[in-house]
Amino acid sequence: MYFFKSIRFAPVIALVVQGLFFSFGFAENLETEIITAREKSRREQGIQYVEKGLIDLAIPELKRAVEFYPDDIEAHMYLGWAYSQKGLIPDAVGAFQKALQLNHGLQRAPFEFSMVKTIPAVVKEFTKSFGDMIHWIDGFSEAHELLGLCYVLQGRLSDALNEYNKVLTLESNYSRETASAIDQAVNEYEEVLKVKPDCVDAYLKLACAHAEMGMLDTSIADMKRAISIVPDRVETHVYLSCFYAKKWMLGEALKELSEARKAQDTILEKLLTEGKRCIGNCMFDEAISTAGEALKVDRKNEKAFLLLAMAYNKKGEMDKAIEICKEVIHLYPNGIRPYTLLGWIYVQCDLLEEADDLAERAICRDPENAEVRTLVACIYTARNRLPEAIAMCNKVTDKTSWEKDIIGNYGWIRGKVPSIEQKFREVMDVLEMKTDYAEGYLCLGWLRSKNGELEKAIAAFEKAIELSPDSSDAHRYLGNMYVQKGEIKAALNEYHKALETLSKKAQDEVRQGLAYFQKGNIEQAINCFNDVLKSNPNNEEAYVFLADAYEKKGLYSAGIALRLEGERLKQRGRN
């Protein structure tokens, strides 16, 4: 009887045990959920503290959050923001770097803090202006710390890290002074000013020392005194802007940056004028040095870069000129002048594929630009495509406002000709012995053009034409010189003469080829027709006659291709 009772209660006992097991599991899960909810709450609280500026309250909460959620990008970012607000730059860098490890895309796209959406426009304006001028006070770590914070406020993580790393580098090279050392430095600068009350450099150092002590009002007063002594010194205005911005007086900061830019522009204009003078006097090393000084004043100045490229090209260092032009195009992708300058350098260096690519990119940016069209015309003539060159030049002259367009003179650009001085001597020796040698003057003109001596090249080609009026090459080369000079009507005149000469020569060669064909001398006929198409690839008659000649030899496939090309040219002529 007891046995049966035991059996009857066994399922009940099992259910009780099973219930207890699930109860224990439920309790554990519930505890985990409670902890998770609490940590999420602390994380959100930490973020709210940061946004309200309560950084001392925020940091402990967010440190706990990143420990509990090590892959939480947002928690790392807000912790970095809190550290940066407190001036704990190494800690901020660590937090931001962790966020970047978790999401590399943050290097390219801003992180959207909630504050980013409502940040005042003046902050972005100051960030841009101060970033452009900070190189004047590049050794002042607090300036980079300020700019880094501005980037953080806008969610620009990669830019902020760049500035903060500069802070760390500066502080590792020049460790922060102790309070007593700063006091001593202040006393020394004040002693200097007692002896030399107009010493601007002493005021600069004194202002920085006061800023490091947190005495920004005193720093501002120091800078105003320095500016009253020398009003047009750029860095004094940039320092003063920095001190105003640290007090969040961004309107006053922007005014000082405006004054700094005016002073910078004055210095820059003087340097650029001096650089042009040096180039005009063939003092190319001095021009390079001056352009370099201009770029120290304004690191991204397009005119200074182009001046530097010009100086290197005139000196004969075309590779450096090309490299500089590429850098300008990278900085100013929508500007046209760097494209045309580099395009002409490529043409002069016989790099026609590169010139083609560059001209195509330039046309995409400004299809109506006269300078780009003249460059394309010269590329066409270099490829012996005179009709297209003429059409392109006509597009320039047909523009109602083309006279107003500034078509630059690019005749000074040099090319790459190995042992050019030796070749000059050889050509001159030949012309001294044979003064009526037209080919010699053609060669001389080509060398002059590659050496950037436009007027001398024009004179040599004109002499070649005088000796050989029917030289299509001489007219074509002379036309190119006028294109480089920006004299489009004169270029068109020479191109038309070259085309007329080629047409007459082609007619003679076509007649000669037909005579060979009729006599059964097919190979000679093919050579004549090929010569015609080599000099004038648009001669539709020559394509048909050459097709006849190939078909006479049984090469019908070649004939088909030639006839199709002839038909294409004829159709284009009708249109």
CA 222 to chain centre: 39
Asked if pLDDT for residue 3 goes beyond 50, the answer is: no
371 Cβ partners below 8 Å, 6+ apart? 336, 337, 340, 405, 406, 407, 408
> Is the pLDDT score of 14 beyond 80?
no
* Res 466 pLDDT > 50: yes
Give yes or no for residue 470 having a pLDDT over 90: no
DSSP 189-255: HHHHHHH-TT-HHHHHHHHHHHHHTT-HHHHHHHHHHHHHHSTT-HHHHHHHHHHHHHTT-HHHHHH
Query: Is the pLDDT reported for residue 30 higher than 80?
Result: no
The more confident residue out of 103 and 393 is 393
Report the phi/psi class of residue 72: left, alpha or beta, with left for phi > 0 and alpha for psi in -120 to 50. beta
Q: Is the pLDDT of residue 122 over 80?
A: yes
Task: Give tens-digit pLDDT for 272-316.
Answer: 999 999 999 999 999 999 999 999 999 889 999 999 999 999 999
- For 387-418, the pLDDT digits (tens) are 889 999 998 887 544 444 567 889 899 998 88
List the single range of 35-44, 45-54, 75-84, 441-450 with lowest mean pLDDT. 35-44
Report, as an integer, the average pLDDT of 517-546.
84
Closest CA relative to residue 182, chosen from 146, 200, 221, 208: 208
Q: Which helix (H) or strand (E) holds 58?
A: helix 55-68
Output the pLDDT for position 246.
92
- At residue 116, the pLDDT reads 58
Tell whether the model's pLDDT for residue 189 goes beyond 90: no
User: Angle at the Cα of 269 (from 263 to 271), degrees rounded to 5?
Assistant: 105
pLDDT band at 111 (very low <50, low <70, confident <90, very high): confident
Residue 127 near residue 146, CB atoms below 8 Å: no
Taking all residues of the chain, what is their mean pLDDT, rounded to a whole number? 85
Residue 245 has pLDDT above 90, yes or no: yes
pLDDT of residue 401: 47
Return the biggest CA–CA distance within the chain: 143
Residue ranges of the domains in the chain?
37-109, 121-264, 270-404
Say whether pLDDT at 9 is over 60.
Answer: no
Among 209, 247, 206, residue whose Cα is nearest residue 224: 206
Model pLDDT, residue 28 = 54
* Amino acid occupying residue 259: E
CATH of domain 121-264: 1.25.40.10
C-alpha of 215 from chain center: 41
Pick the CATH number of 37-109 from 1.25.40.10, 3.30.110.60, 3.40.50.300, 3.40.50.150: 1.25.40.10
Instruction: Work out the number of other CB atoms within 10 angstroms of the CB of residue 209.
Output: 24
Segment 372-383 shows an average pLDDT of 91
With 80 as the cut, is the pLDDT of residue 198 above it?
yes
pLDDT number for residue 6: 45
Contact 268, 145 (CB under 8 A): no
561, pLDDT greater than 90:
no
Looking at residue 1, its pLDDT comes to 42
pLDDT at residue 569, rounded to an integer: 77
Indicate the pLDDT class of residue 7, thresholds 50, 70 and 90: very low
pTM: 0.71
pLDDT higher than 60, residue 63: yes
Distance in angstroms (rounded) separating the CA atoms of residues 316 and 114: 55
Please name the residues in contact with 548: beta carbons below 8 A apart, sequence gap of 6 or more.
Answer: 517, 559
Average pLDDT over every residue of 438-457? 94
pLDDT higher than 50, residue 109? yes
Q: Which of 115-119, 320-324, 383-387 has the weakest average pLDDT?
A: 115-119
Cα angle value 48/50/51 (rounded, 5°) = 65
> Tokens 């000679």 identify what position?
524
CA distance 2 to 425: 130
Question: Residue 31's pLDDT is what?
Answer: 55
- CATH domain 270-404 topology: 1.25.40
Q: What is the dihedral of CA 353, 359, 361, 364, to 10 degrees?
A: -140
Q: Please tell me the distance from the alpha carbon of residue 210 to that of residue 140, in angstroms, as a whole number.
A: 13
Round to whole Å and give the CA distance between 563 and 392.
27
